Structure formats: structure tokens, C-alpha cells
Amino acid sequence: MTNNDTTSDGESVRGVSRRRYLTGVGSASTLALAGYVGRPATAQQISVQMAMPPPVTNNADATREALRNAGLPDNIQVEFLTTSEITGDVRSQFRQWLSAGRNKPDIFRMDSGWTIPFIARNQLVNLSERLSDESLSLIEEQYFDASVNTASGRDGNLYGVPWQVGFPTVQYRKDVIESSGFDPESENWATEPMSWENFGEIIAQSHDQSDIEFGYAWQGNDYGGLSCCTFNEFMSSWGGAYFGGRENLFGPVGDRPVTVDEEPVLDALRMARTFVQGTDDEFALEGFQNISPEAVLQWTEGPSSTAFMDGNAMALRYWPSTIPQGVETFGDDFGVMPLPYGIPEGESEHEGLGGSTPALGGWHLTVNPNSNNVDAAVQVIEATIQQSFREFEFGELGFLTGDRRLFDPDVAPDTWAPYMETLRIAGENAVPRPVTVVWPDQSPLISSEINRALSGQKAPDQALSDLQGSLEEVEASV
């Protein structure tokens, strides 16, 4: 499964006021397509092309059958166009196609980390005006708000339907932890987030008593994943924010505060630096341990997950995609817990921050406004919303969907069932990256300054002061 593993390119929606664009009160339990909910079927054959990654296109026939079983009318034929699995390449391709006015593909699979700029450029169909009331109600009732928010415009309308989601967790070697005297089961690690301080003490003590090379593996390289996700998580868990809290995540650019020079952000940066540089570092944060190798400062998703899966690390911050591999590799010795927190939930001056705050990853299905078959494309998306298709998507394609109905151990595939409650908690607390039209300019500024501070090239307070100025310049340029 690829939950945007290149960068997740990356909620209790505790701080984002929910966009009340959804209408209708139809019961989710009675949702049915019935030939596109009230629209008469037609014998005319229509072809809808979907731009999708290899896990889908390699299972094209099974996917078509699942769509048909979910109520897609017989006259709509679905064709697939294979896209790259590298998010930046996909974004560039879609921008070219939309700028050129191409009418194919009809349906795009867009990263939740860059859908909003396409919305801002008026390059996607408004699905609030096209989807049935039953589907809109289902999305409102059953889908994680963080994911839905990244598919919504500032006008409050919906322009994408969540296709899959990614919520990072800490995956760990339960056997090594237990041999050091800790009891994850009785202490409810799977459902009760612990503090970063407590987590660090556990990893440090267990690492000292083991022959495993590394303690905690994560992604600290100077790349998009550091700004959108890994550092965003550290910072948010301390109650800090790039732009003053969840309510400003998606703008308005130029009218929101830049807040990276605040104390919670500095605490988060000093903590992460202590993880790497140790307690003797002049900027070490008291109470925290040296639990990560300096190699994390060069690691992206691939190297960090390899270190863990090869048995060379005790714990790993990662997306859900490695859970099946962890189960296969370690069996009952594989554990999963929510990301730890810097300060308890509710103690931040920014509403909705603090506590366990994993970064949001995932993808949406959107419709090409140049399509000659917009209605048929919407019918295809209606079919993907049905529970039978979501079960196929999860069980057969391996994509963790944003539909809460599948976050039930009795419904989820057996491999996933023991971890669904942990993933549900992660989904309810996930924090999106602050995606706007200027985020592509801001993201590298953030990752560069943070990586320099983590590596010891810059003092943390100086790095954040410089970053504050750079981000303010970008905000003022729009």
C-alpha cells in the first residue's frame, strides 16, 4: 500500500471549524446508487478514464467489478491510465494536462497535500453541486474531517472525495520493549498516547539493554517530508504552529500570523535535536534522551523503514503502509502506538494543538472540469463511496480508506484488525500541512532551517528566527 510514502507527498478536528458545506440528511445506512440516485439510466455507452497508480491499474478488472457491484450503471465503462507513484511527478503531470485543457483523464487521484492549490485555480469540478445528498451526508458523518478539509475550498464546497488516508504511528519491537520490563498491553499503549519524555526514557532504557543498533528511526532529511510531516508533528504536539493554529492552515495568505519563533516551536526543535545530538549538546532540552542516530538527518521514508524492518531499529515513525510488512516480519512482536505528545491536549494557546498530532497524508478523487463526461465521472466516484467498494479497496488493493466504518476490527482485514483502533485515534487527531498556493515556496525554507538546526549547523533559536523572517517575506509577496 502506498499512503504517499515519498513524503506523504504527507484530525479530532479539534481546532478546525468544520466547513458546513454538506447538505441533506439521508441515512448513510440506506445509501444506494440506483442508477445514480434519481437520474435516469441511459443505454448510451460512456467511457470514463481514471488516472490511478499501479496497485489499481494492475488490478483493473477486479476494480471494475467492484465498482459494478457498488452500483455503477452498466453503460459506464471505466478505463485506467497509469500514473507515477511519486507525488511530485503526478502533480506536475496534472498541472500540464489541466493547463492544456485536456478532457482526459476524467478523474484524477490527487495528493491531499496539493489538492487545494488546484481548487484555488478553479481547475476542479465542484462536487457539492454534483454528488447526491446521501453521499454528502455519508462523507460528513463517516469521513475524517482533516481529510475532507484538504478537499474543500475556501467557499466551503467539496472538490474531492477522500480515496485513501495516511496517519503516521510509532511502530515498535514489542519483544525488545517487554524484555526491558515494560508492559505495552496493560499500559494501553495502543490507545493512550504517552508523552515524548516518557517515550524517550523507554526507548533509551530498552536500547541500552539490547543489541539493536538504533533506537528511534524517523525522517529528518532536508526534504518535503520534514516540513509537512515529521517536524510538523513534533511542533504540533508541543502546541506550536507555523501560522498560528489550525484555523489558519489553508490561509488566507498574507492575513495570518507567522508563529515559528514562539516558545512551543523552539521546545519541539530542541527536543528533536536532543534525540539526535544527545544530552551534552548545548541546546539539549532537559528531560529528553539521545534515542536516534544522526543518520535520521539523511533519512527519508525508504531508509528509515528499511532500518526498522531489517531489525536494526527498535521503533519507527511511519505511515500505515508498513503495518502488513511489520506483521509479516515480526508477528506478535510487532506493536503500534499513537505518536507521543509534547504537552497534553488542550494546553496549547492554539486551539486543537497539543496531544498526539500525526500529520495527514492521503489522496482524493477529483473530476476534470474539461471532461466531456462529468456526470458519468461523478457516478464512478459515487460508487467508490459505497461500503462494499471501500472494503474491496482496503482488503484487495491495500489502501487504508478514510471511511470510519472500516476502522472496526470486525470489518477490517485480519492483518489490520488489531491496529484499527490505534489508526482511528491517529485519524481523529491528524493535522494537515498548511497547504496554500505558496506552500511549495515555504516548505523548502522550513526543511532547510530545521535540518540545519537538528544537525548542529545552526542554533535552534537562530534557525527559527531566520525562518520567521523568510516565511513572512513569502506571505507578504502574495
Q: What pLDDT does 13 receive?
A: 28
Cell of 272: 528533536
Contact (Cβ atoms closer than 8 angstroms) between residue 154 and residue 317: no
Instruction: Give the cell for residue 212.
Output: 539493536
Predicted TM-score (pTM) of this structure? 0.89
Give me the pLDDT at residue 202, please: 98
Nearest to 398 by CA among 121, 62, 24, 14: 62
Domains of the chain (ranges, CATH numbers): 28-166+361-406 (3.40.190.10), 169-358+435-476 (3.40.190.10)
- Cα–Cα distance measured from residue 438 to residue 447, given in angstroms and rounded to the nearest whole number: 15
Q: Any bridge partners for residue 197, and if so which?
A: none
State the pLDDT at residue 43: 62
Residue carrying C-alpha cell 481548487: 119
Cα–Cα nearest to 339, from 325, 320, 311: 320
d(CA 207, CA 213) in angstroms, rounded, equals: 8
Supply the pLDDT for residue 35: 36
Q: Is residue 331 exposed (0-12), middle (13-18) or buried (19+ Cβ within 10 Å)?
A: exposed
Reading the block at residue 349, the C-alpha cell is: 494557546
Q: Are 422 and 337 in contact (CB under 8 A)?
A: yes
pLDDT digits (tens, 9 = 90+) for 134-160: 999 999 999 999 999 999 999 999 999
Question: Any idea which residue has 539526535 for its cell?
Answer: 276
Give every residue of the chain whose pLDDT is below 70, as ranges. Answer: 1-43
Bridge partners for 171 per DSSP:
316, 336
What CA–CA distance (Å, rounded) separates 126 from 153? 9
Give the single-character DSSP code of 255: S
Q: What integer pLDDT is reported at residue 478 of this predicted model?
A: 86
Q: What is the pLDDT of residue 30?
A: 30
Buried/exposed 35-64: b ≥16 CB within 10 Å, e otherwise: bbbeeeeeeeebebbbbbbebbbebeeebe
DSSP state of 41: P
**What's the confidence (pLDDT) of residue 5?**
40
